[in-house]
Amino acid sequence: MADFVADASMPADDRLAHYQQAASTAFAPLRIRPANLDRFAGHIRHEQAGGLVVADIRSAPVTVARTAKLITSGDNEIYKVALHVSGTATISQDGRQHRLRPGDLVIYDTTRPYTLDFREDYRTVVIACPRDRLAAHANALSRTTAVPIGTNSGVRRLVAGFFNGLAGELDSTVPEGGAYLADSLLDMVVMAFLGPERRNDCARSALIDRVIAHCEANLSDPCLSVHTVARAHGISTRYLHKLFATRDQPLAAWIRSRRLDRIRRDLENPGLANRTVAAIAARWGMPDPAHASRSFRAAYGISPSEYRRHALTARDALG
């Protein structure tokens, strides 16, 4: 088990830097800003459990941010599920902002920017789960990010009890029962956020999730389209359009936006600085450089080359 304490025994600047590094190592790169540097203190305990990370976090008031600049294509795709144990906070992601109260359960996605504003001393228990462990449920869960749910009854109460139990036994229970605990916990998390009817998946929702998973896995294929997706799932293009009619974007637009997002993340990655913009675009299924550049500018208001230059310069400035 990893156990890190940042307290008055360390200089204020050092304790913040080490605490931020400990939190980033446990999950994904984060930016942490304390409300008061001089009185800042924090404690992180975390352990692996069947491919998940279980963490018990206590801290003075801070703002925790996963900014766009910190997200790269090399990062693991992780969902974080948190039980807010004490203190008050505000969470923001995907255009949603909600207040967290003790007993709330909330989920957020490390592949997209989010902010947690803890306004007083707090404690939270966090489970970090790779996206692929959630299988077909991952995309449905993505629509619940930053929306807290209470844990005062039913399966949600069981989930809260499970979280608290894991946190209390980090030094023994988690390693001993890792795989079993992880599978059981993920089943309960899905049920808590999506409801018991989603546990068995109605055919329509399951098909949407399979389509999205197929598209995510084939973004690099320039032939990926509404027609090829429909054919791969044995349905008509008309029915496929109908399935996605209630979503934020038609399927073709969603595929394009996901490709552009992957291109954007690669452009921010200093490890890929020697690759041309055209090569990166082709990697994500957009082999026509001119078309890729126009689409990128339409989405982000700047050319891919300019975006890369600004992103890498900003990263260098941050050290």
Are 284 and 257 in contact, with CB atoms under 8 Å apart? no
Asked if 194 and 211 sit in the same domain, the reply is no
- State the pLDDT at residue 317: 63
Return the amino acid letter for 128: A
Cα–chain center distance at 95: 14
Q: Supply φ then ψ for residue 198, to 5 degrees.
A: -80, -15
The pLDDT of residue 179 is: 57
Cβ neighbours of residue 42 under 8 Å, at least 6 residues apart? Answer: 5, 6, 15, 19, 57, 58, 59, 60, 62
From 200, 217, 242, the end of a domain falls on: 200
- CATH number reported for the structural domain that contains residue 268 in this entry: 1.10.10.60
Task: Indicate the burial class of 82 (C-beta count within 10 angstroms; 0-12, 13-18, 19 or more).
Answer: buried
Q: Which residues make Cβ contacts (< 8 Å) with residue 218, sequence separation at least 6?
A: 224, 285
- Residue span of the structural domain in which 252 resides: 203-318
Angle at 139 between CA 213 and CA 126, to 5 degrees: 125
Neighbours of 285 (CB within 10 A): 21
Q: At residue 274, what is the residue type?
A: N
Looking up tokens 């801070």 gives 62
- Within this chain, do residues 80 and 168 fall inside the same structural domain, yes or no? yes
Are 24 and 86 in the same domain?
yes
Whether residues 281 and 147 share a domain: the answer is no
Indicate if 196 and 129 belong to the same structural domain: yes
Beta bridge partners of 65: 31, 115
- Where helices occur in 169-248 by DSSP H, the ranges are 173-176, 178-194, 196-200, 203-217, 226-232, 237-243
Q: Are residues 152 and 263 in the same domain?
A: no
The answer to whether the beta carbons of residues 16 and 40 sit under 8 Å apart is yes
What per-residue confidence (pLDDT) applies to 200? 44
Q: What's the Cα-to-Cα distance from 14 to each of 21, 45, 110, rounded to whole Å?
A: 10, 19, 26
Looking at the fold, whether 125 and 220 belong to one and the same domain comes out as no
DSSP 41: -
In a 13 Å sphere around the CA of 120, the CA atoms on its Cβ side amount to: 9
Is the same domain home to 232 and 284? Answer: yes
Backbone angles phi, psi at 106, to 5 degrees: -145, 150
What length is written for the chain?
319
What DSSP designation does 249 have? S
Question: Given 185, 200, 215, which residue is the final one in a domain?
Answer: 200
Distance CA 161, CA 165 (A): 6
Where does residue 301 fall: left (phi above 0), alpha (psi -120 to 50 degrees), or beta otherwise? Answer: left
- Judge if 112 and 237 occupy the same domain: no
How many whole angstroms separate alpha carbon 245 and alpha carbon 232?
19
Structure token pair of residue 221: 């294929």
Per-residue pLDDT of the chain (319 residues), as tens digits, is: 788 898 888 898 899 999 999 999 989 999 999 999 999 999 999 988 778 898 999 999 999 999 999 998 778 889 999 999 999 999 999 989 999 999 999 999 999 999 999 999 999 999 999 888 876 678 788 889 999 999 988 888 888 988 888 888 766 655 555 555 677 778 888 888 887 545 444 457 678 878 988 999 999 999 999 999 999 999 999 999 988 887 778 999 999 999 999 999 999 988 899 999 999 999 999 999 999 999 999 999 999 999 999 988 877 666 5
| Domain match, 91 and 123 both | yes
Q: Most distant CA pair in the chain: distance in Å? A: 66
Look at strands 62-66 and 114-118 and give their pairing. Answer: antiparallel
Show Cβ contacts of residue 237 under 8 Å, excluding neighbours closer than 6 positions. Answer: 226, 227, 230
Count of domains forming the chain: 2
Could you tell me the CATH number of the domain that includes residue 129?
Answer: 2.60.120.10
Specify the pLDDT at position 201: 45
Same domain, 192 and 216: no
Based on the fold, state whether residues 145 and 244 are members of the same structural domain.
no
| Single residue among 150, 173, 200 that ends a domain in this structure | 200
